[in-house]
């Protein structure tokens, strides 16, 4: 067994490098690039402004990453010209090596796995993205009975849903902040691969709003529309005392809106650790992940999230961790810290930068 000294986790926080160079990033340019080239399931998270961008020399592919300790942790696949994806992976590996870091790609798709394999990466499944085929989604029949009942109840009681577009008034953004704060309670916002609330961030996207009979918003979801023919349900928040079925009803209306606006699919986002390590011949690392999925509710409600999304779809796209030779528990510890330790882009506080060697030696084995 291994025993993790809690000071290791603390020191990892000190070793997260704030992407200060990103202060000069032109986010309008990034937005145009993604619209022109098509994003991926996580490309909208660039606009959380907590990550760095690696461009190829020709600026035809970008890679989104964040530094922690001796790793450059990439979120998703490279974005850009299809013909240059493999080359961009090699370029990023060379860049990482030149700076003394190890590259790690988190939430990559099966589509490009052979490119990563050719660059010496190993793979570990880390979860699945739920996809709703909007042409096939239906509330008819026995399968849709429960959702249909919830929708009818909300409709009878004069709840309504609207989808609005930026720019938003200061008053509306303040209302969304109240909803978000109620949903968070005593929890803290996460980061990196998990969306968080900021007025600037939500102002970039269409927003689906669920209104109570008095016309007041009680729940909302931001809608990212930069991934081919897919709309992604991104940030989801509701008041803590909303009626049972609130988010189910909001989702149903989003599906209807997306279908009416020409989208083919709706992404429900990542379900971390879902369907990992449940086969007899799964790798040891995947079986350990399975335990976290089943019993890790104190950190994150992995199982509950998958069960909620499974109401709407049976179509799941696997996502993988691509890594080179490394001690996986350390890599996962660093990844979890990136997600749970949210630091904004503009962070000028000076923090002690401990060496990688000192951090790693805090792991004690028994």
* Spatial CA neighbour of 189 closest among 293, 333, 344: 344
CA angle 168, 254, 301 (to 5 degrees): 95
Stretch (H or E) spanning 303: helix 302-309
pTM: 0.84
Torsion of CA 166, 172, 175, 179, to 10 degrees: -20
- Alpha-carbon gap, residue 44 to 195, rounded angstroms: 9
Mean pLDDT of 189-205: 96
Tokens 């998990």, residue located: 194
Cβ pair 193, 270 in contact under 8 A: yes
- In this structure, are strands 102-108 and 71-75 parallel, antiparallel, or unpaired? parallel
Which residues are 236's β-sheet partners?
221
**pLDDT at position 355 over 70:** no
Residue 365, both tokens: 């084995």
Number of H helices, E strands in the chain: 12, 15
Question: What's the confidence (pLDDT) of residue 28?
Answer: 87
| More reliable by pLDDT, 314 or 166 | 166
Report the 10 Å Cβ neighbour count for 45. 24
> pLDDT, tens digit, for every residue of 52-111?
999 999 999 999 999 999 999 999 999 999 999 999 999 999 999 999 999 999 999 999
* Spatial CA neighbour of 174 closest among 212, 213, 220: 220
How buried is 266 (Cβ within 10 angstroms: 0-12 exposed, 13-18 middle, 19+ buried)?
buried
Tokens 């790793």, residue located: 71
Tokens 């805090």, residue located: 362
- Alpha-carbon gap, residue 130 to 186, rounded angstroms: 28
* Span of 194-198, 249-253, 321-325, 331-335 with lowest mean pLDDT: 331-335
Tokens 């379900």, residue located: 271
**pLDDT at position 144 over 70:** yes
Domains of the chain: residue spans and CATH: 2-121+324-365 (3.40.630), 135-263 (3.40.630.30)
Tokens 């461009």, residue located: 55
> pLDDT, tens digit, for every residue of 13-39?
444 444 334 445 688 889 999 999 999
**pLDDT at position 345 over 60:** no
- Alpha-carbon gap, residue 268 to 254, rounded angstroms: 11
- In this structure, are strands 315-323 and 102-108 parallel, antiparallel, or unpaired? antiparallel
Give the sign of the dihedral formed by CA 225, CA 341, CA 288, CA 312: negative
- Alpha-carbon gap, residue 215 to 194, rounded angstroms: 30
Question: What's the confidence (pLDDT) of residue 300?
Answer: 53
| More reliable by pLDDT, 10 or 358 | 10
Cβ pair 201, 241 in contact under 8 A: no
| More reliable by pLDDT, 101 or 354 | 101
Q: What residues contact 14, with CB distance under 8 A and at least 6 apart?
A: 351, 352, 353, 354
- Alpha-carbon gap, residue 66 to 288, rounded angstroms: 25
Mean pLDDT of the chain: 84
Number of Cα atoms under 13 Å in the Cβ half of residue 16: 30
> pLDDT, tens digit, for every residue of 165-174?
999 999 999 9
Tokens 């996962």, residue located: 332
């Amino acid at each position: 067994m291994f025993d993790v000294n809690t000071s290791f986790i603390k020191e990892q926080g000190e070793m997260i490098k704030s992407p200060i160079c990103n202060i000069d990033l032109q986010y309008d340019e990034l937005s145009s690039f993604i619209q022109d080239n098509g994003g991926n399931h996580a490309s909208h998270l660039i606009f959380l402004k907590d990550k760095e961008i690696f461009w190829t020399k020709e600026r035809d592919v970008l890679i989104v990453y964040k530094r922690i300790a001796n790793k450059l942790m990439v979120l998703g696949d490279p974005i850009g010209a299809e013909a240059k994806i493999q080359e961009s992976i090699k370029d990023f590996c060379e860049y990482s090596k030149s700076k003394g870091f190890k590259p790690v790609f988190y939430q990559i798709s099966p589509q490009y796995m052979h490119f990563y394999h050719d660059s010496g990466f190993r793979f570990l499944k880390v979860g699945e993205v739920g996809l709703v085929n909007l042409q096939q989604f239906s509330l008819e029949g026995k399968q849709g009975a429960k959702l249909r009942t919830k929708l009818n109840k909300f409709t009878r009681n004069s709840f309504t849903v609207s989808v609005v577009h930026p720019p938003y008034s200061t008053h509306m953004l303040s209302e969304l902040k109240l909803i978000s704060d109620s949903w968070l309670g005593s929890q803290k916002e996460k980061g990196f691969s998990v969306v968080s609330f900021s007025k600037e961030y939500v102002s970039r996207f269409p927003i689906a709003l669920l209104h109570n009979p008095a016309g007041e918003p009680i729940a909302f979801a931001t809608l990212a529309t930069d991934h081919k023919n897919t709309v992604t349900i991104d940030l989801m928040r509701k008041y803590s005392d909303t009626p049972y079925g609130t988010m189910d009803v909001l989702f149903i209306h989003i599906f209807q809106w997306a279908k009416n606006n020409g989208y083919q699919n709706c992404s429900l986002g990542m379900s971390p650790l879902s369907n990992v390590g449940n086969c007899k011949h799964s790798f040891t690392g995947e079986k350990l992940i399975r335990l976290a999925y089943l019993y890790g509710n104190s950190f994150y409600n992995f199982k509950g999230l998958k069960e909620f999304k499974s109401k709407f779809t049976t179509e799941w796209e696997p996502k993988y961790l691509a890594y080179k030779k490394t001690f996986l528990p350390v890599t996962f510890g660093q990844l979890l810290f990136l997600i749970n330790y949210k630091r904004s882009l503009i962070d000028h506080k000076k923090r002690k930068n401990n060496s990688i060697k000192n951090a790693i030696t805090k792991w004690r084995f028994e």
